[in-house]
């Protein structure tokens, strides 16, 4: 519709009514957005330049929180390192595993829906406290893993969660264990690749490895891209598992960023400092998200490009 040249009173009242109706529909969302997102967002930014412990009035300290983070806080660097280690190991492994299982499950069989449910179950339960507790006893000194290794003839009596070198791996493994969502997304992506592509390639003598790298993988890159972005944001924010399974230990080897931020804010009540940490986290996530988006033109392949 082109722009109206003149508005009759009837049209004007209709337009006003439309505005009213629009705000009625988005009203609940808008109120909650303003009260619980926008206002806290602004306050958080302001608090990151303040010293605040909820008991006394906030005191403006300029950039002191940020300066302290980058120059005077060893644990900040430790927690950042732990989080990077977690994100850059656990996410590629989760996605690779999800893709591998999706490739295997991508065939006609009456059992596939059953397997799909089986493999998705950990993702549904993985965020719960119960599974974290369970995990603790799977990787303890006399836990399920060591018992299973013993049955296979491998003697192992370290406690995986209290050994400083292996503790982070118990968290990484829990993260990989919940590969269900990316697997389902990969699976439905695989279903959309036309069969004829594979048939044509097969006629030309392409083996399964060539078919995977020349057809499957390029056509899946948009989905890999989507999964990567979604998983990355979640990976940087991992919290409750680290708190319940290892509580940051041993020797802070599993002190993920979000856990350290929680401690600063709600155990030591350094709330301004906690906000500064949160803003640094947001910058880091933003940076890596942007990096993935920027790099996408080099490796994400859209089918309609070749037309």
Partner 1 sequence: MHRRKTASTVSFHLFVGLLGFIMIYPLIWMVFSSFKESSLVLSTVGQLFPSEWRVDNYVNGWSGFGGTTFSTFFVNSFIVTILTVIGNVIASAMAAYGFSRVNFKGRGLWFVCMMVTMMVPSQVLVVPQYVIFHSMGWVDTFLPLIVPEWGGRAFFIFMMMQFIAGIPQELDEAAEIDGCGKIRLFSTIVLPLIVPSMATSAIFSFYWKWDDFMGSLLYLNSPKNYTVSIALKLFCDPTAVSDYGAMFAMCVVSLLPVIVLFLFTQRYIVEGIAMSGLKA
The residue count for binding partner 1 (CB under 8 A) is 92
Binding residue for partner 1, selected from 11, 67, 88, 142, defined by CB under 8 A: 142
Cβ(166)–Cβ(85) below 8 Å: no
Binding residue for partner 1, selected from 70, 137, 213, 299, defined by CB under 8 A: 137
77-96 positions binding partner 1, by CB under 8 A: none
Site membership for partner 1, residue 117 (CB under 8 A): yes
Binding residue for partner 1, selected from 143, 224, 231, 288, defined by CB under 8 A: 143
Neighbours of 110 (CB within 10 A): 6
Binding residue for partner 1, selected from 36, 70, 212, 293, defined by CB under 8 A: 36
Strands 59-60, 50-51: parallel, antiparallel or unpaired by DSSP? Answer: antiparallel
Integer angstrom CA distances of residue 285 from 49, 219, 264, 290, 292: 21, 27, 20, 8, 11
- What does the alpha-carbon distance between residue 193 and residue 190 come to, in Å, rounded to a whole number? 6
Q: How is the chain split among helix, strand and coil, in percent rounded to 5?
A: 75, 0, 25
Binding residue for partner 1, selected from 9, 28, 205, 207, defined by CB under 8 A: 28
- What does the alpha-carbon distance between residue 98 and residue 61 come to, in Å, rounded to a whole number? 47
Name the DSSP letter for residue 227: H
- The minimum distance between CB 200 and partner 1, in angstroms, equals 22
- The minimum distance between CB 125 and partner 1, in angstroms, equals 6
Site membership for partner 1, residue 129 (CB under 8 A): yes
Q: Give the nearer residue to partner 1 in terms of CB position, either 99 or 138.
A: 138
Site membership for partner 1, residue 64 (CB under 8 A): no
Site membership for partner 1, residue 190 (CB under 8 A): no
Phi and psi angles of residue 48, each rounded to the nearest 5 degrees, phi first:
-70, -10
- The minimum distance between CB 151 and partner 1, in angstroms, equals 7
- Compute CA 212 distance to the chain's CA centroid, rounded to the nearest angstrom: 27
Site membership for partner 1, residue 106 (CB under 8 A): no
233-262 positions binding partner 1, by CB under 8 A: 233, 236-237, 239-240, 243-244, 258, 261
Neighbours of 281 (CB within 10 A): 17
């Amino acid at each position: 519709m082109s722009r109206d040249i003149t508005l009759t009173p009837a049209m004007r009242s209709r337009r006003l009514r439309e505005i009213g109706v629009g705000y009625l529909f988005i009203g609940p969302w808008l109120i909650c957005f303003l009260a619980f997102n926008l206002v806290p967002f602004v306050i958080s930014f302001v608090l990151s330049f303040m010293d605040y412990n909820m008991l006394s009035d906030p005191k403006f300290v300029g950039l002191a929180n940020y300066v302290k983070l980058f120059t005077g806080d060893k644990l900040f660097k430790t927690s950042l390192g732990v989080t990077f280690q977690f994100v850059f190991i656990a996410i590629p492994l989760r996605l690779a595993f999800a893709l591998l299982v999706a490739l295997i499950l991508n065939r006609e069989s009456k059992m596939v829906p059953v397997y799909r449910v089986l493999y998705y179950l950990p993702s549904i339960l993985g965020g719960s406290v119960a599974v974290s507790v369970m995990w603790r006893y799977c990787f303890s000194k006399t836990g399920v893993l060591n018992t299973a290794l013993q049955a296979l003839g491998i003697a192992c009596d370290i406690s995986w969660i209290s050994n400083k070198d292996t503790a982070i791996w118990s968290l990484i493994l829990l993260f990989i264990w919940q590969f269900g969502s990316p697997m389902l997304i990969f699976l439905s992506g695989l279903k959309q690749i036309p069969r004829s592509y594979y048939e044509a390639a097969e006629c030309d003598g392409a083996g399964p490895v060539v078919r995977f790298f020349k057809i499957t993988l390029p056509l899946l890159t948009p989905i890999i891209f989507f999964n990567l972005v979604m998983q990355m944001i979640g990976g940087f924010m991992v919290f409750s598992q680290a708190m319940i399974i290892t509580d940051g230990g041993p020797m802070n080897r599993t002190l993920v960023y979000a856990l350290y931020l929680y401690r600063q804010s709600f155990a030591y009540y350094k709330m301004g400092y906690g906000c500064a940490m949160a803003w640094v986290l947001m910058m880091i996530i933003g940076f890596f998200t942007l990096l993935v988006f920027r790099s996408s033109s080099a490796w994400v392949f859209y089918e309609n490009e070749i037309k």
